[in-house]
């Protein structure tokens, strides 16, 4: 049943598959970013309490959601890498971590820029904010650990283990607004109920969530391809790829 | 449209600084990440290319030695 999947354990096949998927992700990213930003910044009505400052959510919420989504997918890849010893899964972990780290930083920074006018403070040690900050440190830890070993097989294993340890933080972030009396507001759209948000504001937000998801996909694919090339740089197929590249572009 | 003029749009109802700060830093961060990813790819390909060229030179030098 899963036989069709087997050839993709070969780095060359995975590299080609990632290359085929990449243009679709890039196009989807550009289209959804343009539509989502224009809609969110120009056409969505101002909030009756927060005025136009609420427009920050069009990057804050998608970045925060995808920062956690990236971590969840990394954790799955790390599990696969450790249990079935699949090197490509380790490369996925290494490829995703920097993207997740930047998304987490964006979520924290945009949250601060919104918090200053709305709460009156750039930062408070609220459970949601603190757990999100820990997520950023976990991301940085994974990246640092992966780069600390010159032996990439060891590096991949160590980074995978740390990724799995850090999973404990995901439910803490998600339920922080429920478990503790936080200043950060509760869920608006990710709950089993009607979203408590006007449709004119909700649509651009949903489009921006797709945009960040597509961007996460595109960047992960690009970095995944980089990882494969680095680790396989001595293989004949990479050599052939570089030679073909020279032939196509005509420069040395 | 939610704004009447371009100045209105940039002012963001008085929250201009915070809104544009958030958007500016976010896109700067994404841009750095994208450029970093592209540069990495170029560097890897260049390194492989240089190794191929080096191997060719060694091969040529060995051939020349054989002829002498």
Paired tokens of B32: 């750095």
Residue A194 has pLDDT above 80, yes or no: no
pLDDT digits (tens, 9 = 90+) for A79-117: 999 999 999 999 999 999 999 999 999 999 999 999 999
pLDDT digits (tens, 9 = 90+) for A3-21: 888 888 889 999 999 999 9
Residue A250 has pLDDT above 80, yes or no: no
Q: Among A33, A46, A52, A241, which would you mutate to test the B interface (most chain B Cβ atoms within 10 Å of its Cβ)?
A: A52
User: Between B2, B38, B52, which is nearest A46 by CB?
Assistant: B2
Q: What's the gap in Å between the CA of B1 and the closest CA on chain A? A: 5
- Number of other residues whose CB lies within 10 A of the CB of residue A227: 25
Residue A75 has pLDDT above 60, yes or no: yes
- pLDDT score at A252: 46
In chain A, whose CA is at the least distance from the CA of B55?
A239
User: Between A46, A219, A239, which is nearest B48 by CB?
Assistant: A239
Whether residue B2 and residue A245 make contact (CB cut-off 8 A), yes or no, is no
B19 touches A59 (CB < 8 A): no
* % of residues, chain A, pLDDT over 70: 98
Whether residue B26 and residue A63 make contact (CB cut-off 8 A), yes or no, is yes
pLDDT digits (tens, 9 = 90+) for B26-59: 999 999 999 999 999 999 999 999 999 999 899 9
Q: Among A37, A58, A113, which would you mutate to test the B interface (most chain B Cβ atoms within 10 Å of its Cβ)?
A: A113
pLDDT digits (tens, 9 = 90+) for B52-66: 999 989 999 988 877
Find the mean pLDDT for residues A165-179: 93
State how far the Cα of A134 lies from the Cα of A139, in Å rounded to an integer. Answer: 9
The mean pLDDT of chain A is 92
Residue A247 has pLDDT above 80, yes or no: no
- pLDDT score at B68: 67
Count chain A–chain B contacts defined by CB atoms under 8 A.
101
Residue A166 has pLDDT above 60, yes or no: yes
Beta partners for residue A147, in sequence order? none
Which positions in chain B have a beta carbon within 8 angstroms of at least one beta carbon in chain A? 1-3, 9, 12-15, 18-19, 21-23, 25-26, 29-30, 32-34, 36-38, 40-41, 44-45, 47-49, 51-53
pLDDT digits (tens, 9 = 90+) for A196-234: 788 889 999 999 999 999 999 999 999 999 999 999 988
Q: Kindly give the residue spans of alpha helices, DSSP state H, lying in A53-86.
A: 57-84
Q: What's the gap in Å between the CA of B68 and the closest CA on chain A? A: 30
Q: What ipTM was assigned to the predicted interfaces of this complex?
A: 0.90
Range with top average pLDDT, A9-13, A20-24, A47-51: A20-24
Give the largest CA-CA distance in chain B.
84
Which residue has tokens 């979520």? A107
Q: How far is CA A21 from the centre of its chain?
A: 17
């Amino acid at each position: 049943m899963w036989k069709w999947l087997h050839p993709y354990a070969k780095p060359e096949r995975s590299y080609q598959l990632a290359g085929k998927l990449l243009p679709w992700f890039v196009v989807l990213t550009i289209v959804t970013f343009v539509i989502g930003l224009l809609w969110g910044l120009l056409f969505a009505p101002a909030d009756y309490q927060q005025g136009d400052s609420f427009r920050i959510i069009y990057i804050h919420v998608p970045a925060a959601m995808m920062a956690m989504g990236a971590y969840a997918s990394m954790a799955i890849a790390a599990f696969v890498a450790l249990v079935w010893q699949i090197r490509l899964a380790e490369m996925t972990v290494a490829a995703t971590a920097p993207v997740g780290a930047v998304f987490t930083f964006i979520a924290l920074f945009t949250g601060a820029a919104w918090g200053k006018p709305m709460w009156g403070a750039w930062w408070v040690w609220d459970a949601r904010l603190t757990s999100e900050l820990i997520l950023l440190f976990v991301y940085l830890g994974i990246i640092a650990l992966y780069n600390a070993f010159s032996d990439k097989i060891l590096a991949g294993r160590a980074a995978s283990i740390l990724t799995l340890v850090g999973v404990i933080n995901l439910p803490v972030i998600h339920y922080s607004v429920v478990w503790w009396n936080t200043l950060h507001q509760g869920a608006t759209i990710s709950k089993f109920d009607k979203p408590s948000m006007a449709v004119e504001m909700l649509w651009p937000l949903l489009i921006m969530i797709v945009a960040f998801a597509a961007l996460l996909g595109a960047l992960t694919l690009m970095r995944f391809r980089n990882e494969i090339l680095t680790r396989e740089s001595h293989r004949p197929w990479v050599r052939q790829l570089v030679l073909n590249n020279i032939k196509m572009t005509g420069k040395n | 449209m939610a704004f009447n003029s371009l100045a209105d749009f940039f002012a963001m109802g008085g929250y201009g600084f915070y809104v544009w700060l958030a958007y500016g830093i976010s896109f700067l961060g994404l841009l750095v990440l994208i450029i970093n990813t592209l540069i990495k790819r170029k560097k890897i390909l260049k390194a492989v290319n240089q190794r191929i060229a080096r191997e060719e030179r060694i091969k040529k030098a060995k051939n020349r030695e054989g002829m002498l």
